[in-house]
A and B are shown apart, each in its own frame.
Chain A
């Protein structure tokens, strides 16, 4: 029984506003184009992708040992390392740290992991006010939305709409939409929050096993602004975000921003190792079903993801349906192969939100075979997902009919005859999904097989 809105239903709503769909599509296609320009500047681009993929393959097949190394080295640096089995444990760890240090004000830089764990909501219920300092995340925080894109959280909002949001929440001029003015206003507003913050929560782009250090990439420097001023730094990290050596950053930092936005590197690549004197640093390592995905031979490659968002920018369906249509913390192509592993029932429609065009696989900096995994998830959904007896029956019938040449020929011929004879008003009824906005093909006088029989019978086997 269907209890969740499917991607198809949500997408249908999105697409109703044709103009806005075009705007959203063009905006993200532009980001894809910037990625292309950046990638073209490196003749060794495809080799870099291969290297990144191989390094991540190594990480996944040695994850246990590398995590232990990472913990040991981080602890030697004076960092406290905590392990969280799931979102609940992660949130509880954060809470106990905040309570232990009697934290009043919290700033948070972009962490899709904390979105996955629902951290903000959890902390708000406990009476904390968490300020998201990534500009996109701050914008959507004001209107109580979640990110629609993992790198460009507010990409679904137009600058005029952002102007209205800022007018209401930070007192900018009514009707303002100049990006420079709005950004400067946000900067001043957030500056206050940074100065007041006692704790800074960040994500982790790359955890380095050999040093116990980690790297956080931002364009705004908001990770640094938060962590340098606050007394406590809590870094939340998915266990798959390790790389073996510091030298491997030479591969990943060259790929990440180029894939994500077309920049050669993010404005800030912040390297953290040890807490400043008198301050505390924590790393929370989160599983939340990653080890389960690791155990799935067909899908473990999805854990190579470095959260660049390139797959979303290139996906013709994502661009025309928006992140919210996926109803999943991580949307788009990568979300569609990660989320069914988290909740197959809720996300059963996602592997079908695709034409399997393969563009996502081609742009993925770590060479995840996304479109092949989408195909494989479809087989899992058909067997283990919510039952769809009509589809199943139709496919079983198709399999039986199409495999018997006599039946195939007969039904093909009947379908053509029926189409020829049936008036358009019946053919294009509301039951005909194809015919809603498209004409059916014109019916030829004979099939190829019939033509062949008549004209070339001597070759018949």
Chain B
């Protein structure tokens, strides 16, 4: 199986280890990972700011890089959702884009994860992956429970996944929201962290590095010992 790896712009620039782990994890599961070198950004920052019309060129570049693949995999729920809804041509059979966790559970159907992570972990259920991609059952919905990222983490040796008071409340990043509504963004981030803190969490993980970047910014500014780690790195067996 051959996939095109799409690395979100901020992961490429600031959190390459999450992308490296994604690549390695896919390869461990027998996938040939191709990384088109001329990729950049999915265009979401412009589109979510109301400037969809300025994201045409990034969409074109994305399709130029990834148009010929059957599968595209990205370590981000948010970017994957944006590409799915606003970049890929409607009704086209291919390419299909998947966030990493759903690719592992739904396409590769992995049954084992060779990793050990003996820490108290809080799982942050990022909104776009959750409600947009259906990575888990949202707390608002009355239906059978499921959680794709969590189901993968549960296979990790020694991991202790805590239950949060508010299972899937937004962290407050929201892209440019973090800048233009800074006060509320920070208030939301602090509350999310508080929930993890009260459960004694040592590491906060998520399928989205953007949420983690926002929470990490707050954690470090407030000299917290809590670490953040993208789910790819835990599943790949990277040490803390």
Contacts and interface: CB of A to CB of B under 8 A. Distances in A.
> How big is chain A's contact interface, by range?
35 or more
A278 interface: no
B109 interface: no
Contact of B174 (A21, A354, A456): A354
Identify whether the interface residues of B are mostly helix, strand, loop, or mixed: helix
Contact of B220 (A22, A356, A439, A456): A439
Interface stretch (B33-41, B98-106, B146-154, B198-206): B33-41
| Most chain A CB neighbours (cut-off 10 Å) among B40, B172, B191, B214 | B40
A444 B138 CA distance: 34
Nearest to B49: A395
Interface in A366-395: 375, 378-383, 391-392, 395
Nearest to A374: B48
B187 interface: yes
B11 A316 contact: no
Contacts of B142: 39-40, 42-43, 45-46
A353 interface: yes
Contacts of B166: 29
Interface string A292-322: 0000000000000000000000101100110
Interface in A415-461: 415-416, 433-434, 436-444, 446-453, 456, 459-461
Contacts of B161: none
Given A354-B177, A443-B14, A448-B12, A399 B57 contact: yes
B16 A357 contact: no
A405 B40 contact: yes
A382 B170 contact: no
Given A320-B184, A408-B9, A412-B13, A437 B55 contact: no
Nearest to A321: B184
Contacts of B213: 441
A337 to B, nearest CB: 14
B29 interface: no
Given A42-B142, A362-B131, A459-B34, A400 B57 contact: yes
B34 to A, nearest CB: 6
Interface stretch (A6-14, A98-106, A131-139, A263-271): A6-14
B119 interface: no
Nearest to B173: A355
Given A357-B127, A362-B140, A456 B35 contact: yes
Contacts of A433: 179-180, 182
B3 to A, nearest CB: 12
B49 A391 contact: yes
A447 B13 contact: yes
A383 to B, nearest CB: 8
Contacts of B181: 7-8, 11, 317, 352-353
Contacts of A460: 37
B218 interface: yes
A340 B211 CA distance: 29
Contact of A441 (B57, B185, B217): B217
Contacts of A29: 166
A382 B54 CA distance: 11
A355 B191 CA distance: 15
A396 B50 contact: no
Interface residues of B, number: 77
Contacts of A440: 217
Interface in A149-168: none
Contacts of B130: 358
A15 interface: yes
A150 B127 CA distance: 26
A363 B218 contact: no
Contacts of B216: 439, 441
B140 A36 contact: yes
Nearest to B50: A382
A359 interface: yes
A453 to B, nearest CB: 8
B45 to A, nearest CB: 6
Contact of B141 (A46, A396, A403, A451): A46
B159 interface: no
A444 B15 contact: yes
Contacts of A22: 191
B129 to A, nearest CB: 11
B70 interface: no
Contacts of B177: 352, 354-355
A212 B176 CA distance: 48
A444 B55 CA distance: 27
Interface string B125-149: 0011011100000111111000000
B166 to A, nearest CB: 7
A25 interface: yes
A329 interface: no
| Most chain A CB neighbours (cut-off 10 Å) among B58, B131, B184, B188 | B184
Interface of B: 7, 9, 11-17, 19-20, 33-41, 43, 45-58, 60-61, 127-128, 130-132, 138-143, 166, 168-170, 172-175, 177-189, 191, 213-214, 216-218, 220-221
Q: Which 10 A-B pairs have the closest CB atoms?
A: A355-B174, A438-B217, A382-B50, A403-B57, A399-B54, A362-B140, A378-B50, A358-B131, A448-B16, A357-B127
Given A395-B51, A434-B179, 12 more contacts: A12-B182, A15-B187, A43-B142, A316-B188, A352-B50, A383-B53, A395-B46, A402-B57, A403-B40, A415-B13, A448-B11, A456-B35
